A = this chain, B = another copy of it.
């Protein structure tokens, strides 16, 4: 029985379209007239992250960034300098992960992959 605020936050993220920190998102929602507390924004983002509806990653300064993720599992290529982020199709990775999984007799293997570099503009 998801609280309505979770839907509100998801909507705001959709509107935002790219990675936003909780505080940026909160400010943006208030600017659009929403009456919602910062705490609730945090809690909603937490819920969405648990439900794997949003991706979470960390900016270099330590702030958490959130963005709606599509249905397909993907990874990110992030610029160290400007924070520009590109979603990557990781077909090769998925195959590799499954190969490693069976090679070592593991089950239910999940993986985290992050690429960090410097983009062409920086």
Contact = CB atoms under 8 A, between A and B. Distances in A.
Contact of A112 (B80, B106, B109, B114): B114
A116 interface: yes
A57 B113 CA distance: 13
Contacts of A93: 93, 96, 113
A105 B119 contact: yes
Interface in A61-102: 62, 64, 77, 79-80, 86, 88, 92-93, 96-97, 100-101
Contact of A113 (B77, B111, B118): B111
Contacts of A113: 93, 111-113
A107 B117 contact: yes
Interface of A: 56-60, 62, 64, 77, 79-80, 86, 88, 92-93, 96-97, 100-101, 104-120
